[in-house]
Structure 1
Amino acid sequence: MVGQRLEIRQGQGLVITPQLQQAIKLLQLSNQELDEYVETELEKNPLLQRDETEAGPAREAGDEIPALASSESSELSFSDTGISERNSTVDAGDSDVYGDATPGERTVDRLSDEAAQPGLSDWSSAGKGGSAFSDGEGGERPDQREATLWEHLQAQASSAGFDATDHAIAISLIDAVDEGGYLRGELAEIADRLGCGLERVEAVLTVCHGFEPTGIMARSVPECLKLQLIERNRFDPAMEALLDNLEMLARRDLQGLRQACGVDSEDLSEMISELKGLTPRPGAGFGGETAQTVIPDVHVRPDPAGGWKVELNTDTLPKLLVDKRYHASVSAGARTETEKAFVADCAAQANWLVKSLDQRAKTILKVASEIVRQQDAFLAFGVEFLRPLNLKTVADAISMHESTVSRVTSNKYVSTPRGVFELKFFFTASIASTGDGAAHSAEAVRHRIKSMIDHETAEGDVLSDDRIVELLNEAGIDIARRTVAKYREALRIPSSVQRRRMLKFA
């Protein structure tokens, strides 16, 4: 029988206050998006104003007018006995965006480790941080723009099977690509900055030359055209001679070209027609955003006393003040309840925003300091010493939630003696161990698979994917056969049957 009745039930639910929603969004904004958000708040709230005074010492908590600290720094000292933190402005007791957030609130929009690891995820998502102007339900608007050339190349680098060192080199090379698709950086300079050999940088560039579109990351027009001709299987000595004498083609010196290439007029005409069908600017077909200079949020430099000094870039931090005198004046003049409520809301919002910006700065500094502590070997010795790192390791070390660390590292950049990197650059994926040992870096496992196959000979046994799994399991790496096959294909290594035929033919 169907009927209606009243029941009282007790249950638990997740309640996110509007201020907590905004605090979460503030944490993941880039410095440009944060400045836009602050400008909007300044227009809406008459009690807020910018602090136009020059940067001075940090204000104490007892100051009458709350403001963002003008200078925040954390010095890390590395020694044989351990790591100590001195003069830190970060309270070790901070556990999340706000200390008063409930455990349930801290689990909102939790992101997995893989979402922040360049070894497994698409780096093209690095520039798609949340916006402060999302919908009211806390969801973010989907990014429907076309991928830029750099995002397209970074995505290919993430799936190219590089180990951690080579992946870092590839990202640095991609950063040096211009809008036309040409590599404008000097390889020797990149190798010196990253602390690795020039031969290794050249080897990574050779792999990158296989990225799409064909001809990308060439260092000159002849090299760009050469890569496209090689893909079409049309690069021969005559065509090589033509590429070496493009200036003669520009002068229309056809007789000189025939002599240089050793061909007749008909062959030369066909070769020139083939060149006309190539793309001299392979990157021009990509949509893109206006190139913007990356402004680091954090500076890292050697400390004369030893270790590394981590400082916030105060130029990127909006400095706001709450005009208490104007607040007192308008409060006294408020007549109706509506006016009084408006003034009270403005005061509460202004005080909250100043506090939130200060907490955001401290959280960024705290996370960046821990990343520097974990990756000090990279800063000291070069890219080959980049350690496997995930969100959980950093979150556990500083008593924060993984989602908070993920938001902090989105769209944030750090300036180091080895260059400017996104904070997500320092995170690499890992593969579980078969025993109780530490997890293995996915890039390191790929490198081990490649090393095994590189040592195959025609006289010895060619390793099948199953045999590679057995060898890796014996080495303490828990990996499935399909994963080995995926890594092998990403490395562009043929199957064992094909390799056996190739070795016999060789």
Structure 2
Amino acid sequence: MNTMQRLELRHGQSLTMTPQLVQSIKLLQLSHAELAAYVEAELERNPLLQEGEAPGDAPIPSLADFLRAKQKADAAGPRIVPGPPPSRSEAVSTSAGQASAAAHSELNPEWGERLARAASLSEHLEAQLDLATADPKLRLIGEHLIRNLDEAGYLSEDLAELAARLRVTPEEVEGALRLIQSFEPSGVGARNLAECLAIQLRERDRLDPAMQALLSHLHLVARRDFAALRKVCGVDQEDLVDMLAEIRRLEPKPGQAFAAAAIDVLVPDVLVRTAPDGSLHVELNPDTLPRILLNRSYYTEVAKVVRKDEDRSFLSDCLQTASWLTRSLDQRAKTILKVAAEIVSQQEAFFRQGVSALRPMTLRSVAEAIGMHESTISRVAANKAIGTERGTHPMKFFFSAATGEGEHSARAVRHRVRQLIAAEGPDDVLSDEAIAQRLRSDGIQVARRTVAKYRESLRIPSSADRRRKNRIKT
């Protein structure tokens, strides 16, 4: 066997992300509270940054103030952008391993802060996802599923809609969901109560045919119709009692243990109001915008008196960081305003008529309209809210897949289904087919099974259960 060494010259392209570029991307997806915490930390460590007033209106700090700021910065350690680290599906490969490691260290949150508070359900599941698979596509789908879980740990979003939004196959979404359903807490990722209980029983090796039949007839359990349950399960009274006792030991809301005690108030980042001429006016909320300025007068004065190379290096670093931060904050504000203006433009009917007028809108349609990448729109929509005359809504509220023939938003159709059921009389309960016919008469072409799916996602009982409930009330 002959071995030979040789040199080869290859040309290739790769995207190298500098630490400042990584931080700029991270700043874009921070909430206003996380951004305020980051800016406050920078004001503490960078003497060239000034909050609020113009530099000429405030006294110029002295050299002693500069040296004290340098000592604080040295003690504080490396700069860290607050918030959770980015998912691996959002990471861009770098050409140098050292640059990748540096970028990763910039994105990790404070460990003390992470340990001081309890992990949320999404953080707990994402940590397990990191260990469960290295497939980037599976991670991407899994992260979207995790973000769409409610506080109880249930998934209410339709898998077909999610697959269409991510441009993957429904089978791939199903596979990612099965992976999440294998995580702790047991039962998480279920789409209904029966599936949640089945996951927990399967892990205990107790999901036999009799128990499956019991889970398929939970409405009989709610009615305490034990005779019918014995018949459908094929068991006697003693076995049925044991099965019901085992069901009661399960956790119907597996994500509830991770629910935070504190309630976060949704503060709008963008305000939309109706102008006197009837047009919609979009503006940034001034209360959520950090006000920081670069004090160049202070830089000029200190640059004249510093002598040590170490001090000069620190001063140069402060100038560079302050310049970058002021530019990044300005660009962040412009990007958020541009995306919000396009959302308002595409969803103008909602702001004038309400939820029933929501149109289908995707990240891709907004990105193409304003000439940005879908990932940028996704980062802008994360942790942001729009304040309207109809209340404050997360930006993600306005993104919804199409249903029927594509002219109506799925969220708008769900809202219409809720309205029709809420308007029912005691003796006029609508079946899923009757609701579908009402919607078709309104120009919304949907099938009965689609109505049933939306009704179940709204946690509304079937027409038979609603009729039974009405009879009990009367």
Report the CA distance between 1:361 and its aligned residue.
0.7
Matching residue of 1:135: 104
Change (3 A) 1:313 1:443: closer
Secondary structure at the counterpart of residue 293 of structure 2: strand
Aligned residue in 2 for 1:354:
326
Distance in 1 of aligned mates of 2:460 and 2:36 = 48
1:319 aligned partner, one-letter code: R
Q: Distance in 2 between matches of 1:232 and 1:410?
A: 39
CA contact (8 A) 1:156 1:211 kept: no
Aligned residue for 1:24? Answer: 25
Deviations along 1:445-489, one digit per CA (max 9) or x if unpaired, are: 989999998348xxxxxxxxxxxxxx9xxx999x9xx99998898
Paired residues for 1:77-476 under 5 Å:
109=90, 135-136=104-105, 144-146=119-121, 151-152=150-151, 155-159=154-158, 232-234=222-224, 287-430=259-402, 441=409, 454-455=432-433
**What SS does structure 2 have at the residue aligned with 1:232?**
helix
Computed over aligned residues only, the root mean square deviation of the Cα atoms, in angstroms, reads: 5.3
Structure 1: 5+ residue runs without aligned partners?
54-107, 112-132, 163-207, 214-227, 236-276, 457-470, 495-506
Letter in 2 for 1:136: S
**Is residue 271–residue 283 contact of structure 2 (8 Å, CA) maintained in 1?**
yes
Which amino acid in 2 is paired with 1:146?
A: L
| C-alpha deviation, 1:375, in angstroms | 1.0
Whether the aligned pair in 2 keeps the contact of 1:389 and 1:427 (CA below 8 Å) is yes
Q: Does the CA contact (< 8 Å) of 1:161 and 1:491 recur in 2?
A: no
Shift of 1:233: 2.2
- The equivalent residue for 1:80 is none
Q: Any conservation in 2 of the 1:153–1:211 contact (CA below 8 Å)?
A: no
Distance change in 2, residues 1:156/1:13 (3 Å):
closer
Structure 2 unaligned regions, length at least 5: 55-88, 93-101, 124-147, 162-191, 198-217, 226-248, 421-429, 435-439, 462-474
After TM superposition, give the deviation of residue 362 of structure 1 in Å: 1.0
Aligned equivalents of 2:458 and 2:268: distance in 1? 33
**Partner amino acid, structure 2, of 1:454:** D
User: How far did 1:286 drift?
Assistant: 5.6
Structure 1 residues 432 and 352: alpha-carbon distance in aligned structure 2, compared to 1, 3 A threshold? farther
Alignment match, 1:8 = 9
Q: List, as ranges, runs of 4+ consecutive aligned residues in structure 1 with deviation greater than 4 Å.
A: 137-144, 147-150, 153-157, 159-162, 208-213, 228-231, 281-286, 438-453, 482-494
- Structure 1 vs Structure 2: percent identity of aligned residues? 45
Counterpart-to-counterpart distance in 1, 2:388 and 2:289: 19
User: Judging changes above 3 Å, is the alpha-carbon distance between structure 1 residues 11 and 136 closer, same or farther for their aligned structure 2 residues?
Assistant: same
Which residue of structure 2 lines up, in the alignment, with residue 46 of structure 1? 47
| Deviations, residues 230-283 of structure 1 (Å, cap 9, x unaligned) | 963259xxxxxxxxxxxxxxxxxxxxxxxxxxxxxxxxxxxxxxxxx9x9x999
TM-score computed with the length of structure 1 as normaliser: 0.48
The 10-residue stretch of structure 1 (423-432 or 368-377) with the greater mean CA deviation from structure 2? 423-432
- CA drift of 1:284 comes to 7.8
CA distance in 2 between counterparts of 1:161 and 1:10 reads 41
Q: For 2:282 and 2:24, how far apart are their aligned partners in 1?
A: 24
Residues paired across the two proteins, number: 298
Asked if 2 retains the 8 angstrom alpha-carbon contact of 1:28 and 1:409, the reply is yes
Q: Distance in 1 between matches of 2:8 and 2:455?
A: 60
Task: Tell me how far apart the structure 2 counterparts of residues 331 and 351 of structure 1 sit (CA, whole Å).
Answer: 16
Structure 2 Cα separation of the partners of residues 283 and 402 of structure 1: 30
**Relative contact order (C-alpha < 8 Å, sep 6+): which is higher?**
1
